[in-house]
Structure 1
Amino acid sequence: MQSRPQSRPQSQPPPPHPRRFAWASRNFRIQTAATVISGLGNAGAPIATAFAVIGNGGSTTEVGYVTAARLLPTVLLLVIGGALADRLPRHHVMVAANLFSGLSQAVLAALVLGGHAQLWQLLVLSAAGGAGYALYAPAAEGMILKSVPQEHAARAFSVFRMGQNASQIGGAALGGALTAAVGPGWVLALDAVCFLIAAALRFFLEAEAAPVAAGTSMLRELREGWREFASRRWLWVVVLQFSVLVACVGAVESVYGPVVAKERLGGARDWGLAMAAYGVGLVVTGLLMVRWQPRRILLVGNWGVFLFGVPALALAMAAPLPVLAAAMFLSGVGVTVFGVNWMVALQQEIPAEMFSRVCAYDHLGSLSLAPLGIALAGPAADTLGLSGALWACALISLLLSAAVLLEPEVRRLARRTATDSPAAPATEPAPIP
């Protein structure tokens, strides 16, 4: 009997290839795009503001006062911004803050372009920009932390920071070039336009329910956020470190850097190139952090903090532009290494309904001394000399980076894996030798 030929099995279509960014939610994509756009303007605005003061005959001390005027309302209003972001839909808070910041920058640009900007006007409008940031920052951080699943957190935060930091390259270079070519007013106008575009994008974010139940008082919410913040030793120790560190770095980047660039280098153009090198360091390291997921997240993050003081060393030694650019590049590397690991730690350890309030206390503590430090940057340079003040900033940065490693929770805080129980402690029992 003749056997029938066996039919060939039909070939099955290959399974669909998963999209590379399938983990990126709509809110994540919109928030990242809006952050890149607003970052383009923000990167150039500090350069433009500093040279607007210098162009009007202002001194180093006055540059410090204008920068401090932006930071002071930020410090005073951050906790209010955090409570609002946990009480109201976060995208509404961000849109309102962006619109306010855009309008204040537009008024500042008009005054600078008209040649009528007086010191008190620069102070008031810089303060308005700081108030807008205080309302925006806690809502933005809460939104981005909640927009991705924890198993993809490191990858998502690396991509987000790459986009955020890539805008530093174009923004700083464009800001420095435009300031040198057509004056600071046009850079401030560009910043205003970027804020308005970012507000329009954030209007399309998907609405989320307010994390805090209606009927609770704002004072109670702030107390709950403070208890959450203060109960985690690793959190407040690092924030305490950054309260001094940010003041030193702010004085270097906002006051001493532009002054050194004007006196010893090529002015706004060269300082813009140095800031662009900082941005390159941010982006290149972001590519690394997409794949690198260290176990000890804060220990590794703090090794990046050691690089924060390198630009002050280069400026103190009157280094030429290539060396200064290399120092700024290394600083950018350190910022991204710390920043990605810090965001992973916050998402892993802080309850979602507390994100914005805890982030507000984080920002508040980190910026608390910045207005004073930047306001005193000019008097410190008058007393110690410009090089002496820069050496002091560099030394303080290095000492703080070493001191925070004395805290065991900073050394031990570990990344949770997919097999870890959510209730499992994230710190390991044995200290690192």
Structure 2
Amino acid sequence: MPNRTEDRAPRLPWAGRSYQIQTAATVISGLGNAGAPIATAFAVLRIGGGPAEIGSVTGARLAATVLFLLVGGALADRLPRHRVMVAANLGNALSQALLAVLVVAGAARLWEIVLLSAANGIALAFFAPAAEGMLMESVDQEGAGRAFALFRTALNSSQIAGAALGGTLVAVVGPGWVLGLDAVALTAAAALRALLREPAAATPPAGPGMLADLRVGWREFTSRRWLWAVVVQYSVVNAALVAAESVLGPIVADLRLGGPRPWGLVNAVMGAGLVAGGLLMVRWQPRRLLLAGTFGILAFGLPAAALAAGAPLALLGAAMFASGVGGTVYGVSWTMALQQEIPAASFSRVAAYDWCGSVALAPVGTAAAAPLAGGLGLDGALWACAGAMTLLSLLVLAVPEVRRLARCAPAAEPAAARRLRVEAAA
């Protein structure tokens, strides 16, 4: 007679209840979130906006995220992280629903889109550090590589469908309905995340105050040269990436590629690359974590170069695919480095400094996109973005710790931290 306990044991011992719920909720929200940026960009175009107006909308969202990220990180290390995630999801759903109503009714004005995009950015600022800390706590170090790779594969699979569906629906029924679907998806994800249970040991007792918590997080961040060096590098890379793919890309798609449907298609192809990168990282466990991640970032400039060169849709899709693969290689390697090197009690604060630094220059990128295109032309601006991404990815390799930081054997993890993550995965 089979053992009932063995029957109930998960096939993947690190994929406990918390990990499974987080993965399912991320897939649901990812389906809506992938189409929302496409819908927002074309909503702006349909009220007569151009590169400057799209840049202002994207910049408002990013600026709001930067302003509130540190508060979100400190709060997530003081409160149960899943509750912070649920509240952020519901706030985001509300702002998307309001924007959807305005766009469907044909009453949306630019300042309203900017304001609601900023509200989305605030929600992300509270959600992202909590979600990253919760995920890192949900698996132990031994299963971390495969867990993070499968998590990103699930997320990016949903983004393939979401981007393709979003681009098609924008063309067929209009951007407002895509934004409405995003609000529904976010609400469903919030309901699922409400089922999470965070062990009491995972939430440290409140310290003397939030400012003191932020100082502790800052010390953790600045004491590791590999950490702040990669964040500074990625800040510039991300600014160029956002300018190229969120502002200039939709303009090129509208002028040369045929509008939202082909743009949604190549974004879906990039999602396929993200999934392929996840499958690669399930099997490949690079020893030099940051070295592998940096080579992944080198592929980020390919789509901007393809757009600038006037490449046909198939070649642009290939560039987007390669960029997606590189993105997952970087993301999994980076998350593993953080989980291995950062104390569990500081996960969300360090994640907040990471996010804050990584997106700090993105509003500058969106604001500079239109003047850059005006001075250099669309193609010149895209070449400049591709060159900046490639150069910064090479420069960070001059930092010895980036080249040398290696994966540790699971036994090297402190016993208390390992026990905490095992309990969180149960």
2:260 corresponds in structure 1 to 268
Q: Work out the CA distance in 1 between the residues paired with 2:93 and 2:199.
A: 24
1:297 corresponds in structure 2 to 289
Per-residue CA deviation, residues 316-336 of structure 1 (Å, 9 max, x unaligned), is 001111111110000000000
Unaligned segments of structure 2, at least 5 residues: 416-426
1:183 corresponds in structure 2 to 174
Q: Is the 8 A contact 1:78 1:135 kept in 2?
A: yes
2:114 corresponds in structure 1 to 123
Q: Is the 8 A contact 1:90 1:208 kept in 2?
A: no
What SS is found at the alignment partner of 2:164? helix
Q: Which amino acid aligns with 1:256?
A: L
Per-residue CA deviation, residues 68-105 of structure 1 (Å, 9 max, x unaligned), is 01111100000000000000000110000000000000
- Is 1:159–2:114 an aligned residue pair? no
User: Which is further off, 265-274 or 410-419?
Assistant: 410-419
Q: Is the 8 A contact 2:62 2:362 kept in 1?
A: yes
Runs of 4+ aligned structure 1 residues displaced above 6 Å come to none
2:300 corresponds in structure 1 to 308
1:242 corresponds in structure 2 to 234
Unaligned segments of structure 1, at least 5 residues: 1-10, 424-433
Q: Work out the CA distance in 2 between the residues paired with 1:388 and 1:303.
A: 25
1:362 to 328, 351, 354: 354
1:82 corresponds in structure 2 to 73
Q: Is the 8 A contact 1:45 1:188 kept in 2?
A: yes
How far did residue 297 of structure 1 move? 0.6
Larger relative helix fraction: 2
- Is 1:205–2:231 an aligned residue pair? no
Q: Is the 8 A contact 2:164 2:267 kept in 1?
A: yes
How far did residue 300 of structure 1 move? 0.9
- Is 1:222–2:214 an aligned residue pair? yes
Give aligned pairs, total. 412
Q: Which amino acid aligns with 2:211?
A: L
How far did residue 22 of structure 1 move? 2.5
Normalising by structure 2, we get a TM-score of 0.94
Mark the CA change 1:46 to 1:419 in structure 2 (over 3 Å): closer, same or farther: same
Q: Is the 8 A contact 2:72 2:126 kept in 1?
A: yes
Q: Is the 8 A contact 1:68 1:374 kept in 2?
A: yes
Per-residue CA deviation, residues 37-61 of structure 1 (Å, 9 max, x unaligned), is 1111111000000000001110111
2:22 to 31, 36, 53: 31
Q: Is the 8 A contact 2:340 2:413 kept in 1?
A: no
2:62 corresponds in structure 1 to 71
Q: Is the 8 A contact 2:141 2:410 kept in 1?
A: no
- Is 1:169–2:160 an aligned residue pair? yes
1:46 corresponds in structure 2 to 37
Normalising by structure 1, we get a TM-score of 0.93
- Is 1:378–2:370 an aligned residue pair? yes
How far did residue 417 of structure 1 move? 1.3
Mark the CA change 1:145 to 1:103 in structure 2 (over 3 Å): closer, same or farther: same
Q: Which amino acid aligns with 2:209?
A: S
Q: Which amino acid aligns with 1:258?
A: P
Q: Work out the CA distance in 1 between the residues paired with 2:310 and 2:188.
A: 40
- Is 1:146–2:125 an aligned residue pair? no
What SS is found at the alignment partner of 2:48? coil
1:112 to 80, 97, 103: 103
Larger Rg: 1
Q: Work out the CA distance in 2 between the residues paired with 1:421 and 1:207.
A: 21
2:418 corresponds in structure 1 to none
Mark the CA change 1:149 to 1:253 in structure 2 (over 3 Å): closer, same or farther: same
Q: Is the 8 A contact 2:160 2:269 kept in 1?
A: yes
2:319 to 323, 327, 342: 327
Q: Which amino acid aligns with 1:228?
A: E
Identity of aligned residues (%): 63
Matches within 5 A, 1:335-414: 335-414=327-406
Q: Is the 8 A contact 2:298 2:390 kept in 1?
A: yes
User: Which is further off, 21-30 or 357-366?
Assistant: 21-30
How far did residue 375 of structure 1 move? 1.5
Mark the CA change 1:114 to 1:292 in structure 2 (over 3 Å): closer, same or farther: same
Mark the CA change 1:352 to 1:260 in structure 2 (over 3 Å): closer, same or farther: same
How far did residue 419 of structure 1 move? 4.7
Q: Work out the CA distance in 1 between the residues paired with 2:237 and 2:2.
A: 60
Q: Which amino acid aligns with 1:328?
A: M
